[in-house]
């Protein structure tokens, strides 16, 4: 089976789906690896490193002509979809709930399509979970990015000129990204608080040294498949009231809240930003999915009411070498679970397959 690795076409995307090390692992399993020229260059992997691993470096057209499986990080664009051949297997992140028309376009080419962002959050799929591996890095980078724009340092510092008190950091959302943001801010010496709609995250936040801000919920039905579910306006108002004191005292705020398959909830509104400290910084990690912060803008840094709001999209790409390593390993675990070096095993009763296989030989399975 020949696996073709495409160069990413999304603007400012530096990651690559398979690294030279993972290419070698695939080759040792009997697969052939074809890599588009310069596909790994932005991740610090040159073509020579792929050749040394035993992969072939070829043109984009050769990838589509010769590959049985085509892998990518981001969804295929229209020019790539046009090159697909019936019978091929495509594996990437798809975000099919947000763009169902993309699934239909790919299905018309008679291929099979797996979505890496649809990996179920079950124990045996943990080593395939790209959302977790990429969010982990993003949570770290969000704190580092926020630190760059703060006018204060994180740790307590005692000097001959006086004592500097530690910075106060507030994290919205205690998922993978939030937990890494807590850990990073604590390591840097900040006083950290965190909040989440899921009460089961309290223990996790506190284990990393954060104070957890609880929100009283009238229902237990607040999480689904490892993600927070969309909440009512009443609940969000309660959360706002519970968190406001910490928000107004914070030097850095990181928001990570996402709802699977839906627009991100707005957690910080303009009237709250007006009451924050001058010089405070907000990093909105959900800006690409609509944003947790009312005034954030994708890929822009704006200052409103003396508060700097960072709307950096695709944070994992800013750590492209590590992000590519983790994605590639997730992909290796996924493909070697789903297939041998000759063909895929389409077991429709198997849970990982049911969640990730969106199209089989041109037939759309989403919702079936």
Active-site hit among 10, 97, 121, 187: 121
Q: Of these residues, 227, 249, 260, 305, which one is catalytic?
A: 227
- Does 124 qualify as catalytic in the annotation? no
CA distances from 119 to 25, 68, 350 (A): 22, 22, 12
Strand 89-92 to 252-255 pairing: unpaired
Counting DSSP H helices and E strands in the chain, the numbers are 12, 19
Burial class (CB in 10 A: 0-12, 13-18, 19+), 46: middle
Cα–Cα distances (Å) from 348 to 173, 237, 262, in that order, read 34, 42, 26
Pick the closest to residue 210 from 196, 198, 187, 194 (CA basis): 194
Residues 126, 207, 214, 275: which is the catalytic one? 126
Dihedral sign, CA of 122, 124, 130, 135?
positive
Which is catalytic among the residues 43, 112, 132, 272?
Answer: 132
**246 is a catalytic site residue:** no
Is 227 part of the annotated catalytic residue set? yes
For residues 276 and 243, what is the distance between their CA atoms, to the nearest angstrom? 12
Q: Which residue among the candidates 68, 117, 129, 251 is catalytic per the annotation?
A: 129
Catalytic amino acids? 121, 126, 129, 132, 227
């Amino acid at each position: 089976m020949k696996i073709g690795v495409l160069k990413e076409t999304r603007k400012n995307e530096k990651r690559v789906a398979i690294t030279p090390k993972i290419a070698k692992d695939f080759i040792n399993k009997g697969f052939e690896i074809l890599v588009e020229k310069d596909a790994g260059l932005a991740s610090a992997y040159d073509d020579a490193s792929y050749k040394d691993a035993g992969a072939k470096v070829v043109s984009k057209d050769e990838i589509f002509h010769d590959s049985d499986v085509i892998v990518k990080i981001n969804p295929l664009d229209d020019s790539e979809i046009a090159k697909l051949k019936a019978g091929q297997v495509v594996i990437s992140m798809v975000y099919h709930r947000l763009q169902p028309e993309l699934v239909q376009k790919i299905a018309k080419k008679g291929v099979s399509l797996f979505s890496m962002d649809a990996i179920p959050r079950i124990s045996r799929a943990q080593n395939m979970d790209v959302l977790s591996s990429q969010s982990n890095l993003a949570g770290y980078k969000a704190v580092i990015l926020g630190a760059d724009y703060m006018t204060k340092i994180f740790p307590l510092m005692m000097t001959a000129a006086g004592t500097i008190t530690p910075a106060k950091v507030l994290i919205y959302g205690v998922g993978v990204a939030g937990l890494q943001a807590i850990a990073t801010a604590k390591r840097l010496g900040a006083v950290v608080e965190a909040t989440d709609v899921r009460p089961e995250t309290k223990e996790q936040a506190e284990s990393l040294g954060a104070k957890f801000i609880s929100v009283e919920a009238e229902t237990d039905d607040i999480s689904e498949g490892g993600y927070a579910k969309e909440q009512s306006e009443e609940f969000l108002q309660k959360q706002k009231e519970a968190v406001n004191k910490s928000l107004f005292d914070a030097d850095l705020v990181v928001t990570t809240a996402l709802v699977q398959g839906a627009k991100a909830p707005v957690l910080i509104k303009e009237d709250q930003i007006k009451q924050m400290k001058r010089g405070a910084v907000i990093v909105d990690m959900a800006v690409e999915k609509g944003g947790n912060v009312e005034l954030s803008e994708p890929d822009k840094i704006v200052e409103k009411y003396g508060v700097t709001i960072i709307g950096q999209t695709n944070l994992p790409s800013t750590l492209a070498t590590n992000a590519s390593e983790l994605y590639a390993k997730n992909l290796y675990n996924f493909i070697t679970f789903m297939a041998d070096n000759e063909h895929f095993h389409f077991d429709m009763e198997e849970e990982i397959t049911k969640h990730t296989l969106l199209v089989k030989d041109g037939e759309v399975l989403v919702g079936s």
